[in-house]
Amino acid sequence: MNTDDRAPVGQWLANVIPFCLALYSFTIPWMSTYYWWQDVKTHDSFPRAVLWSPLVGFFKSTHWPYYAFYEGKEQPLDDNRWTSMNERQQQSIRSFFAAYKYLQSINRIGKALPTTKDPVSDVGHIDSLATSCLERASECDLHVLNQLHNGWGDAVGQYLIPGMRKLKSGLGPDGDRVDLTRSEALFGRFDSWLHSNWNQIGEKSGGTLVQ
């Protein structure tokens, strides 16, 4: 390719690149609003919605393709990594993901409580799910989880398990609403840790699809 052939290509790139950058910049305000709203719905806190969520929204909007096309996507299970683990490691990982699924179910029912037609039944269902979650989380070897990924066992032992105990205490016949507030705070810390480490623990456990 001679100099004359390269000149049109260079000119084309000089026109296209600024156009693409301008188009990408145009999407940032829209994506910033979207991710702000997602953070607000996830954490349901007015002070956070005013002070912190806008920053989260702007940060994510600057590289939104990563969050749209990569983050949170389920990765295939790495059979070699999984089979190389000992039984205690595999059991702790299974128990963790089982407990996490119960927590997700609790969150879904809890968000629907203000509009439910049968709150007594739903609260009973939450209590049952909390019992199951606590049982599976207690099966985890916290030391093993910490060895697999730094802080994993600590998050279970310091946030998830105490949060479930506070939730069950608050839902009891003589439940204290303070315990429900404390459980919400503990779950918030657990969710924050998990959000920051989800991909890493998925990789350390051989993939995010662990049954």
Please report whether residue 25 resides in a domain.
yes
One domain for residues 41 and 108? no
The share of the chain scoring above pLDDT 90, in percent, equals 30
Higher pLDDT, 33 or 190: 190
pLDDT of residue 120: 85
Q: Average pLDDT over the chain, rounded to whole? A: 79
One domain for residues 47 and 137? no
- Cβ atoms of residues 156 and 134 within 8 Å: no
C-alpha–C-alpha distance, residues 112 and 107, integer Å: 9
C-alpha–C-alpha distance, residues 37 and 176, integer Å: 31
Does residue 83 surpass a pLDDT of 90?
Answer: no
One domain for residues 62 and 91? no
pLDDT of residue 73: 47
Please report whether residue 78 resides in a domain.
no
Measured N-to-C along each axis, helices 87-112 and 119-138 cross at an angle, to the nearest 10 degrees, of 160
One domain for residues 19 and 92? no
Please report whether residue 191 resides in a domain.
yes
One domain for residues 107 and 159? yes
One domain for residues 16 and 113? no
pLDDT tens digits, one per residue of 41-69: 666 666 766 677 777 777 777 776 776 66
Q: How many domains does the chain have?
A: 2
Higher pLDDT, 173 or 207: 173
Please report whether residue 77 resides in a domain.
no
One domain for residues 37 and 123? no
pLDDT of residue 210: 45
Please report whether residue 106 resides in a domain.
yes
Ramachandran sector of residue 140 (left: φ over 0; alpha: ψ -120 to 50; beta: rest): beta
Final residue of a structural domain among 11, 35, 69: 69
One domain for residues 99 and 197? yes
Does residue 175 surpass a pLDDT of 90?
Answer: no
- Cβ atoms of residues 153 and 190 within 8 Å: no
Mean pLDDT across 174-202: 88
| Long-range Cβ pairs for the range 197-201 (8 Å, 24+) | 197/149, 197/151, 197/152, 197/155, 198/72, 199/71, 199/75, 200/149, 201/148, 201/149, 201/152
Full domain range(s) for residue 126: 85-204
- What is the C-alpha end-to-end distance of the chain, expressed in Å? 56
Mean pLDDT across 6-22: 67
Q: Which helix (H) or strand (E) holds 159?
A: none
pLDDT band at 81; cut points 50, 70, 90: low
Mean pLDDT across 174-178: 79
pLDDT band at 28; cut points 50, 70, 90: confident
Mean pLDDT across 17-30: 75
pLDDT band at 82; cut points 50, 70, 90: low
One domain for residues 190 and 161? yes
pLDDT of residue 55: 77
pLDDT tens digits, one per residue of 89-132: 889 999 999 999 999 999 888 888 888 888 888 888 999 999 99
